């Protein structure tokens, strides 16, 4: 693995970036192997060679003393250089994408703090994105493709430091987006899909001793 990184920092801004490229032999992957008659078996196999290359970036920005922003993102190409018999006898999966390897992903957040030091309020908003991924080395778009997904998270926090208590309100999947968390076949060839949870709203009150 070869990696080249760069860091830059100013008074309010910090930036880290890196580019990388690596090749790995005898890479191990789990794969469903068809047995015929709509049956299959999960097997741990050695792929002859895989290659990963890409770019990562992370940034933190103090916009004001009470307003912070952050970004982390990645562009990644992860493919099989060769995988003889990976798709069946005589079928090489060279150039197929590795399972669970999104091409692009990022997380962006912004937080605001206000109020006095003994009774601060904090609002955090974060969004995560991940491009589509395959769940199996054969890259079947019908049975093994998870579409891109976008998630939003909101959290409001309040502390009463002198009174030793605090409270939080957070919302997961704030815009009630629908997407798949997993998609695979069982041992009998049935397609199993696990959808995302609907919007979750949680309130928490806590006391410190």
Q: What is d(CA 197, CA 170) in angstroms, rounded to the nearest whole number?
A: 15
Q: Kindly report the pTM of this predicted structure.
A: 0.84
pLDDT value at position 37? 60
Q: What is d(CA 20, CA 170) in angstroms, rounded to the nearest whole number?
A: 36
pLDDT, tens digit, 9 for 90 and up, residues 50-90 = 999 999 999 999 999 999 999 999 999 999 999 988 877 78
pLDDT value at position 30? 73
Going by C-alpha positions, the residue among 120, 121, 148 that lies closest to residue 134 is 148
Residue 94's SS3 state is coil
CATH architecture under which domain 2-207 falls? Beta Barrel (2.40)
Q: What is the mean pLDDT of the chain?
A: 90
List, for the chain, all residue ranges whose pLDDT scores fall below the cut of 50: none
Q: What is d(CA 138, CA 27) in angstroms, rounded to the nearest whole number?
A: 15
Q: What is d(CA 104, CA 148) in angstroms, rounded to the nearest whole number?
A: 10
pLDDT value at position 144? 87
pLDDT value at position 94? 92
pLDDT value at position 34? 61
Residue boundaries of the structural domains of the chain: 2-207
Residue 112's SS3 state is strand
pLDDT value at position 179? 87
């Amino acid at each position: 693995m070869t990696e080249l990184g760069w860091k830059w920092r100013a008074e309010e801004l910090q930036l880290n970036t890196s580019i990388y490229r690596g090749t790995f032999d005898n890479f191990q992957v789990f794969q469903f192997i068809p047995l015929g008659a709509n049956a299959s078996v999960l097997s741990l196999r050695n792929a002859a060679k895989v290659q990963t290359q890409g770019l990562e970036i992370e940034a933190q920005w103090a916009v004001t003393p009470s307003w912070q922003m952050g970004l982390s993102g990645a562009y990644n190409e992860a493919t099989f250089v060769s995988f003889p018999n990976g798709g069946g006898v005589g079928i090489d999966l060279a150039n197929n994408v590795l399972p669970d390897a999104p091409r692009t992903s990022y997380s962006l957040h912004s937080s605001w703090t206000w109020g006095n030091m003994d009774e601060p309020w904090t609002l955090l908003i974060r969004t995560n994105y991940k491009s589509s991924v395959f769940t199996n080395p054969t890259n079947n778009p019908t049975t093994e493709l998870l579409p891109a997904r976008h998630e939003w998270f909101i959290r409001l926090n309040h502390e009463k430091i002198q009174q030793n208590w605090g409270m939080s309100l957070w919302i997961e999947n704030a815009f009630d987006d629908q997407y798949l968390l997993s998609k695979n076949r069982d041992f009998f060839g049935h397609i199993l899909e696990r959808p995302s949870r609907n919007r979750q709203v949680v309130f928490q009150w806590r006391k410190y001793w």
